[in-house]
């Protein structure tokens, strides 16, 4: 009898763990894009999902990837990882990562541009955009 209760408890706890894992993964879905990948005409996301954009960048040239305008529906995180280089090397590029976490429902346009901050009237060197509806 004790072994049956123990077995039932184990099966139940495994089942609850499986349900918990699948619901957590649904909220943490990440949509990955790079400069060579265009966003669909309208990307539909859920609150809690993530859009990640990775792009090569070399800040020593003055050019940097930046958001064209602040976002209202997303929490935005930016990181930069320089490529490995020999000691003393300067001007080494790397990769910039933008991570956009959907915070609330609505529709928004993410526009990223590759510009020099002091060249305000010049057309962007490169740009990437994605229109998103968050449900």
10-residue mean pLDDT series, the chain (135 residues): 44 40 56 94 97 96 95 98 89 96 98 92 91 98
- What is the pLDDT, as a whole number, of residue 15? 43
Domain boundaries, the chain: 28-134
- What is the pLDDT, as a whole number, of residue 121? 84
Architecture in CATH of 28-134: Sandwich (2.60)
How far apart, in whole angstroms, are the C-alpha atoms of residue 41 and residue 129?
10
- What is the pLDDT, as a whole number, of residue 111? 97
- What is the pLDDT, as a whole number, of residue 46? 97
Structure tokens at 95: 């990769």
How far apart, in whole angstroms, are the C-alpha atoms of residue 134 and residue 23?
18
pTM, two decimals, is 0.76
**Cα–Cα distance list, 60 to 55, 82, 89 (Å):** 15, 11, 12
- What is the pLDDT, as a whole number, of residue 27? 52
- What is the pLDDT, as a whole number, of residue 86? 87
Please report which helix (H) or strand (E) contains residue 42, including its range: none
Within 10 Å of residue 44's Cβ, how many Cβ atoms?
A: 11
């Amino acid at each position: 009898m004790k072994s049956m209760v123990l077995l039932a408890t184990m099966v139940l706890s495994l089942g609850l763990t499986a349900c918990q894992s699948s619901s957590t993964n649904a909220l943490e879905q990440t949509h990955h894009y790079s400069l060579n990948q265009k966003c669909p005409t309208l990307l539909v996301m859920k609150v809690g999902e993530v859009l990640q954009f990775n792009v090569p960048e070399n800040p020593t040239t003055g050019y940097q990837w930046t958001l064209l305008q602040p976002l209202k529906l997303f929490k935005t995180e930016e990181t930069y990882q320089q490529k490995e280089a020999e000691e003393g090397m300067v001007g080494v590029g790397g990769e910039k990562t933008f991570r956009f976490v959907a915070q609330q429902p609505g529709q928004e346009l993410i526009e990223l541009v590759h510009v020099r901050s002091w060249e305000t009237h010049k057309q962007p060197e490169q740009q990437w955009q994605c229109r998103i509806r968050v449900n």
